[in-house]
Structure formats: structure tokens, C-alpha cells
Structure 1
Amino acid sequence: MHTYLRRAAVALAAVSMTVGIAACGSADEADNDSDSGSKKKNDGPLTIGLLLPDEETARYEDFDRPLIEKKIKELAPGTEVIYNNAKQNATTQQQQVDTMITQDVDALILDAVDAKSIQSGVRAADDAGIPVIAYDRLAEGPISGYTSFDNNKVGQVQGEALLEALGDDAKDGQIVMLNGSVTDPNAAMFKEGAHSVLDGEVNVGREYDVKEWKPSNANSDMKGAISSVGKDKIIGVYAANDGMAGGAITALKAADFDPLPPVTGQDAELAGVQRIVTGEQYMSVYKPYKPEADAAAEMAVKLARGEKIDSVATSTVDSESEQGVPAVLIDPIALTQDNIKETVVKDGLWKIEDICSGKFAAACKDIGLQ
């Protein structure tokens, strides 16, 4: 059962010290409420909401959702997880948050489509006594916890890999940069991290903030870059994730690039890993999803039960609207042909038979992935 609304709770607290005050506002409020032990414990089954942003990126349905649901049910047997996917529509996600509030969930895990526009929904959940855990993207508003990867470092890893691939030829032509959507705060951090490595080391011919992270939009932008920069001048492509890398590579192949320039990616999607095996894509960023999902599940269960999350959160982050949000940040790993077996295969993300199926078998044999 949730705590009372903050205004009512403060009034009750003035009457009796035994009555719980409201919990789960900003990060500081969450800690203070937990310290006082005022939020009623809920040791039984919970109801936890899970809202993910899109189906374009394979990771959300294939990994994040099942991992989060599994961990929640391990931590709190009998708990109901209410799930919805916004399909890249910010208005739809706002409506989903409203529904979660109406359904009186005990906690909400939210991966925002638009981190800024969802602020009113986060605040409404907080006013209703529902703690919100920002998942993968740092949503604005009074969130109670955050779990993601070191997103600035993701961009640095991508930039460093591209420079390594270009070698001494890094300034002999121009690169194209395909950044993520402007509605995603992570995209800005990837972009900042990449520029921190690439600026002064390469010439950027064209740069795009790809709408909605869509591979089709990345394909269109890449075609525009080829036309404006010139086929003979493009020596590398910074693509912020694997889906966009695929869109860019399709455009490069259609323009008869041979060989293909090095292209970066992120998320270690199966198609991306297979392109790395064949050499069409130079690298991806492997982000172990399980520790991120586990941390979000642990935060949600603890906050739903009125417990502190300092045993889970190892650091803090600041958003534009909140300071000192308890956070778990996980380091990313550069994925290339050299470490596929030691990373995504070893961790069980993909099996060798998945990666090396059909037309990819020969390429797997060539790089010793069998």
C-alpha cells in the first residue's frame, strides 16, 4: 500500500509521530523518509510498473524487459509487473504513466521516450506517492533512483575505436557523424563523449542528430552525407547505435563503397555482431544488460517496500531538475571481432550458433569464432 500524499502526510505527522510521512520525492526526500522509517513496510506481493520507450531497438523487448521482470519476481515472489511499450511516442508514454498512477502501482521503472516532456508525469507519480526509477535514460522530475551506463564513456569508447580503425589516415578525409535523437539525454552524452575524443583528430564532413534513432532516418542522412561530402572523401562513420549503423551501411553499400569505411555502433544487437563478424561494421559497444536490469529491479522493490536504496546505488547523478539522484552506472565495453567470444558469448547474450548461422558461418570460421 502506498504512503499518503505529501500534504496529508505532513499534517498527520504533526498529530502523531507514529503516522508515516510521504516518501519518494526527490533523491534527498527518499533518503530522509527511509531514515525516519516512517513509510509503512509492504512485505507481501507488490505491483510494479515497467515502461519502455520503443521496439525499434531490439534490446528492450529481447533483454531489458525479461531481465527486469525475472529479477523483480525473484526479489518479491508473487509481484505483478504491469508492462507497456510507448513505441517511440512521448504522448503515449505520458498516458501510460497516468494509467500506472490510476492502477496505484507500488513503484514505476521508466525509460523515457522524451526525458523532458515526461517530467509532468514523473511529478504526478511522485505526488501520488509512487517512486519512479529512471531506467537507462535520466528522466527529468523528482525521480528516486537511476540506473544506466556511463554514457559519456560510451561515446569515448566509440570515438577511440574509430580513431584506432582510421590509424594514420584519420585526417586524410572526412567522417560522418550520426548521433542519436535530440529527445534522448543519453544521445547528448554519447555525442559529447565522442567529440571529446574525435575533435582535433578527424575532420567532420557532416553531422546529424538522427530523428527517433530510426535506421531508416540514419539511412537517409547517410545518403545526404554521401551526396554533399563526396564518396571519395568519406573515410569513417560514427553511428551512435547498431540500428543506425545498419542504416548507414546499407546506404554505403548502395553507393558502391568498396571497401566499406569503418562504422561504429552500440548495443551489441545480433545483426550488429554479425556485421562485425563479416567486417561490414567495425565495432559496437557491449553494455551488459543484466546488472543494469538487476539494479533497477532492486531499487523498485526496495522503494516500494519503503526501504533505502543506498545498498544498491553506488553513486549519484544530477539532472536539470534534480540533484544527487542515487544511481548505478555501469562501464561499457568496446566490442570488435577480437573479443566477441570473451564478451557477448561468455555472458550468454548470444550463442555462437546464433551469430554464426547460415551465411555467417564462413565469416565466423575465418575469425576463429567456432
Structure 2
Amino acid sequence: MKRMGSLVFAVLVGVGLTLTGCSSSSDGGGGGGTSAGGGQAKGKIGVILPDTKSSVRWESKDRPALEAAFKAAGVDYTIQNAEGSADSMATIADGMIADGVTVLAIVNLDSDSGAAIQQKAASQGVKTIDYDRLTLGGSADVYISFDNTKVGELQGQGLVDCLAGKPANVVFLNGSPTDNNATLFTSGAHSVVDKTPSIKVVGEQAVPDWDNDKAVTIFEQMYTAADGKIDGVYAANDGLAGSVVSILEKNKRAGQVPVTGQDATVEGLQNVLAGTQCMTVYKSAKEEADALAKAAIALVKGEQVSTDATSKDDKGNRDVPSVLLTPKSITKDNVDVVFKDGGQSKDEVCTGQFAAICTAAGL
């Protein structure tokens, strides 16, 4: 398909005019809705999510939040998931470009494959957005995420607080080495933990592809190597934290060893309430999706994206215009923050054996 060299948009006047969007039959994409302001850009937004394994958030939170934001804005869109395959993501991107997307947002699986997608998109006149993860060496027009160094700082401080000044040997179970966010989380956590005299880091390892099954094996090996003398664990997200908790349970130490997390998943919140995980970090999917939708819609219309920061891409030697949102630390004392914001359903978290725990916590 030959792409037009510039964005063309039409202004629709009046209320009640509906844009009918195109949707693929299996990707959950869609479009349409009524444009509240009566103005509508002729463009299409494509979003590629990374997988369904590293975190439940992508399909259970991000997809519905993005769909709601795009529908409310009345824009044409499609959303697909690469299912952890960089090759699949590249194929999906090619298909979206051929299908006429004018703005493409990706959550890269690694920077090299993400940069290649963005380069191809730019050659076809397609604007690109880095969603949640910065593509090092890429060419995204804007980056939408949370302040990921701050996420790590909250995790590090959470671990320090949970250890309450006691002398402690801790290990770091980091996220995927191909994910720049994981690097930022770890850096932020170390900035707090390393300056705490009572804490000694006795082991550290990254988990390829954020794979929770691999995390079980990796942490068990770390636990054995330390002869069980581990007093705290930095786990980069709730999935990895769950893997750690399973090994601690096996060794009858769950609840005795503070474990951090991230994403405020149902399992993570349940572990926090049960005391087997000391904290998690909440990042509102709705807030992030709304920020992406605003940026994508602005690019579709040929407008300037409103940003509040820049993010350093050392590999690409550039500062990427960014929207960096503020994460929240969640402990047993403020789990209701997630419920009130709609991040998780109280009914889903406070079920079964956790019903009594929630009641005792005043939820």
C-alpha cells in the first residue's frame, strides 16, 4: 500500500456522528465511538503488547484500559500481543503498517528488535511510541511510562523498612536483562539498599524474559548457595515474588523473609495481605493507558505531544521526550489504594482463605 506523505484529517461537525473502526477478528482490536469534540483524525493507532507470561497486567489491565481510552476518543485502533516472540512482534508490526496504522506503540521485548521495528515504521511515515519500556537505540517520538527508577527506589525502601534495621543478608532477583526497565528498577533499589549499613547483598541474578518458572529454579539455587542464610529478597515484580515465596514456603520460612514486588497483581496483593510479601508497587494501568491514548491521538492529528520529562537513551545518544507517571508503594496498611483506584477488585482479592485476612485488615 502506498502511504500518503502527510497526515490528512477531517473535521466532523455536530454531535452523534460515529466513527466506525476497523477491527481484526482475533486480536481484540477495534475502534469507533463518538468523538466528544466533534473533530476526528483520519488515522489508525496500533499497539503491540509484549506477552502474557511475564505479568498478567498486559491483558487483564492494559488492554481493557487502552480499549476504553481509544473508544472514548473515537479513534480507529488495533491491539495485538506478541506472546513473548520478537519475530512475532516484527510480523505484527509489518501487518499493522500494511493495514494503515499512522501511529504505532510497542512494548519492546528487547531494544534491538524494538529499534528495528521503529526504523521500518519511520521509513513508512509512521510515528512511534515506546509504551512502558524505553527502546535503547530506537527512534520513538515519545516515551510513555512510569518513573522506573522511582519504582526501584520504592522497592528498595520497602525492603529496608520491612527489615526494620536488623542486620540482614539480602539477594536481588532482577527482571529480564533485555528489559531497560529492569535495569532502572535494580538501579533505584540499589541506591537505597546499598547505603543501608545493616544490609549486605550476598547474591544477585537476573531472570531471563521475566520467566516465573525460571525464577523458581534461580532463587532455589541462590538459597542453597547461601545455605539458607537469606533474610530479605528484592524481587523485581509480583510474579518473581511469587516464585520466591514458593521456595520460602518449601523451606518453612514464608512470612519470615521480607520480599518485594511490583504491579499490585491479585496474587501480589494476596501475598502482601498474608504477610508472605512485604510490599508491592502500584502503577495504574488506566493512568498509563490514558497517557498513551492522549499521545497517540495527538500524533494522529499531527499535534505536539505534551510531555513532562526526558529519558536518556545512551545507546542512541539522545534524550527522548517522555511522560513519566508516579508509582505508589503498597503495603498491608494501604492495599485499599489499589481498590479505590480500580486497579484490582476487592472481591477478586478478598476471596477464599483471604476473605478473613481482608476483614482483619479492615478491608
Alignment TM class, shorter chain as reference: 0.7 to 0.9
Q: CA deviation at 1:120?
A: 1.3
Q: What letter is aligned with 2:310?
A: T
Q: In the alignment, which residue of structure 2 is the partner of 1:161? A: 158
Distance 1:198 1:168 in 2: 11
Q: In the alignment, which residue of structure 1 is the partner of 2:332? A: 337
Deviations 1:213-247 (A, max 9, x none): 1111111111001110012x110010000000001
Distance 1:89 1:255 in 2: 35
Q: CA deviation at 1:325?
A: 2.2
Distance 2:165 2:109 in 1: 39
Secondary structure at 2:322 match in 1: strand
Partners of 2:52 and 2:83 within 8 A in 1: yes
Distance 2:189 2:112 in 1: 23
Q: 2:242 aligns with which of 240, 246, 255?
A: 246
Q: What letter is aligned with 1:336?
A: T
Q: In the alignment, which residue of structure 1 is the partner of 2:188? A: 193
Q: What letter is aligned with 2:341?
A: D
Q: What letter is aligned with 1:359?
A: Q
Secondary structure at 2:220 match in 1: helix
Compare relative contact order (CA 8 Å, sep 6+) and give the higher one, 1 or 2.
1
Distance 1:100 1:136 in 2: 20
1:174-323 mapped onto 2 (5 Å cutoff):
174-201=169-196, 202-231=199-228, 233-257=229-253, 259-310=255-306, 313-319=307-313, 320-321=315-316, 323=318
Q: CA deviation at 1:272?
A: 0.5
Distance 1:54 1:215 in 2: 13
Secondary structure at 1:134 match in 2: strand
The 4+ residue runs of structure 1 with deviation greater than 4 A are none
Q: In the alignment, which residue of structure 1 is the partner of 2:5? A: 4
Distance 1:248 1:362 in 2: 24
Q: In the alignment, which residue of structure 2 is the partner of 1:25? A: none
Distance 2:162 2:145 in 1: 27
156-165 or 359-368: bigger deviation: 359-368
Q: Give the number of aligned pairs.
A: 325
1:85-100 mapped onto 2 (5 Å cutoff):
85-100=81-96
TM-score of the two chains, using structure 1 as the length reference:
0.84
Q: 1:350 aligns with which of 320, 327, 344?
A: 344
Partners of 1:50 and 1:109 within 8 A in 2: yes
Deviations 1:125-145 (A, max 9, x none): 011110011100011321111
Deviations 1:311-356 (A, max 9, x none): xx12222322152322110111110011111x10111122322221
Secondary structure at 2:362 match in 1: coil
Partners of 2:280 and 2:330 within 8 A in 1: yes
Partners of 1:314 and 1:328 within 8 A in 2: yes
Given the superposition, is the C-alpha separation of residues 326 and 128 from structure 1 closer, same or farther in structure 2, using an over 3 Å criterion?
same
Distance 1:106 1:134 in 2: 15
Q: CA deviation at 1:357?
A: 0.8
Q: In the alignment, which residue of structure 1 is the partner of 2:149? A: 152
Q: What letter is aligned with 1:180?
A: G
Distance 2:142 2:134 in 1: 9
Deviations 1:43-75 (A, max 9, x none): 345321110001021111011111112112222
Partners of 1:142 and 1:322 within 8 A in 2: no
Structure in which a larger fraction of residues adopt helix: 1
Distance 2:4 2:312 in 1: 26
Secondary structure at 2:171 match in 1: strand
Deviations 1:171-197 (A, max 9, x none): 3x4111100001100000001001111
Secondary structure at 1:146 match in 2: strand
250-259 or 84-93: bigger deviation: 250-259
Distance 2:233 2:113 in 1: 31
Distance 1:3 1:259 in 2: 60
Distance 2:214 2:48 in 1: 24
Distance 1:157 1:340 in 2: 15
Q: What letter is aligned with 2:43?
A: L
Q: What letter is aligned with 2:203?
A: R
1:48-63 mapped onto 2 (5 Å cutoff):
48-56=45-53, 57-63=55-61
Deviations 1:23-51 (A, max 9, x none): xxxxxxxxxxxxxxxxxxx9345321110
Partners of 1:153 and 1:193 within 8 A in 2: yes
TM-score of the two chains, using structure 2 as the length reference:
0.86
Distance 1:289 1:259 in 2: 29
Q: What letter is aligned with 1:297?
A: A
Q: In the alignment, which residue of structure 1 is the partner of 2:43? A: 46
Partners of 1:2 and 1:130 within 8 A in 2: no
Gaps of 5+ in 1: 6-41
Secondary structure at 2:231 match in 1: strand
Q: What letter is aligned with 1:338?
A: D
% identical aligned pairs: 38
Q: What letter is aligned with 2:247?
A: A
Q: What letter is aligned with 1:162?
A: L
Distance 2:331 2:343 in 1: 15
